[in-house]
Amino acid sequence: MAKYSSPSDYTSIAPNYSNGEGHYTNVDLITDLLQIPALSGSTNPTEGQVGTYIKRIEDYIDNKTGTSYRPITYVDEYHDFDFRGGRYPRFWSDYVGFIQLNNTFIQKILKLEVWQGSSWTELAASTASVTITSGQVGASGSITLTLPDSTTFVLNKGTTSSQYNNKYGPKTIAQEITYLINEVYPTNTASITSATAAKSVIGSDGNNVSNHFYATIDSENQNTVIITSLLMGEDGSECSISVSGTGLSKTDFTDNETMARLGNWWKIDREGRVFFRTKFPYINRNSIKVSYIAGNPRVPGIISDAATKLVACEILRHDDQTILIADTGASIDVKSKYDLLKKEAEELLNLGKETVFLLD
């Protein structure tokens, strides 16, 4: 039985680390715990610095508990396939084989590709593609992604962190477009383009492109970028794409997904299992490739409490001058506060560790 919600859950989730707002806690809960005045952009530490602490502590909690309460993207997870259908005494069931993903609490499957002998067949989400030729090198270029409500995201060629660099060849351009849509640091191309920061594109409604789209390189044609809509199910097929300039061509968004108990495949999100019914790989080894977003959709009270206490410890540890948090001797000294909060937080995380039993 999966717990869906609890009155103790942390629900004030509005992630903006520069303002001290995280997935598990926020600057107000931390200052309340420490009984100090509110923090701002001019205090020491600033709310932005506390946001950095929160981000670091959330990652620590994810690794400590073995699960995440934030949406985390996992890319190109390969699995073998064991065909189990059509065998005596069970000639048929509602699946012919399944895979166990490495993570549970699946929020969305971005790509579910099965190798059918000569090519990968996509079974999930709504996708479009952009193919780059040598004609795009140094030429004008622009890609526009549009949501069903007419919100647009324009990707232009250029050398800033809000553009894709098109100086060095089709495969490099494809990588740059992928980084731009995903709004991440361009790891593979930074040494070539001299980029120093993560990429970012803001849409016509003020939101980030990575909130609505995800991009990958086609493993069989590295000049092609596959763009996945993050809208639920077939909703993404209502998105549109257009390109302009030299050396760019596109395919429109198409719904690939027939996900149902009597469809091509189905899944159990909580367990991280994907069952194949009518479409499946034709070979066994490394024949399924999955990209997905996973993370527990609820933040239990003990996780929020642990995060708040661990961030408070970071503030105590860095408050060397004891100006923000005075050590008067009239109550618990700073070191004792740190030791107590740290001990309580670690005990809470031990309670929150994820244990999964999987039976075939």
State pLDDT tens for residues 29-45.
999 999 999 999 898 89
Give residue 3's pLDDT.
Answer: 79
Q: At which residue do the structure tokens 């809000």 appear? A: 162
Cβ atoms < 10 Å from Cβ of 114: 23
Cβ contact 129:223 at 8 Å: no
Q: At which residue do the structure tokens 């140094």 appear? A: 138
Give residue 296's pLDDT.
Answer: 93
Torsion 129-132-133-136 (CA) sign: positive
Q: Could you tell me the pTM of the whole model?
A: 0.86
Looking at the predicted structure, is the pLDDT value of residue 89 above 60? no
Domain boundaries, the chain: 17-69+297-351, 72-124+259-294, 126-255
Task: Measure Cα distances from 268 to 12, 134, 309, 326 in Å.
Answer: 27, 44, 34, 52
Average of per-residue pLDDT across 234-248: 96
CA 71 to chain centre: 5
Beta carbons within 8 Å of 195's beta carbon, 6+ residues apart: 161, 165, 185, 186, 189
Phi and psi, residue 95, nearest 5°: -160, 150
Give residue 321's pLDDT.
Answer: 47
Looking at the predicted structure, is the pLDDT value of residue 351 above 60? yes
Average of per-residue pLDDT across 230-243: 94
Cβ contact 213:227 at 8 Å: yes
Task: Measure Cα distances from 63 to 54, 119, 174 in Å.
Answer: 14, 36, 32
Cα–Cα distance, 310 to 333 (Å, whole number): 17
pLDDT tens-digit map of 164-185: 999 999 999 999 999 999 999 9
Mean pLDDT of the chain: 90
pLDDT tens-digit map of 279-305: 889 888 999 999 999 999 999 999 999
Looking at the predicted structure, is the pLDDT value of residue 352 above 80? no
When pLDDT is cut at 50, 70 and 90, the band that residue 319 belongs to is low
When pLDDT is cut at 50, 70 and 90, the band that residue 329 belongs to is low
Tokens of 336: 């004792």
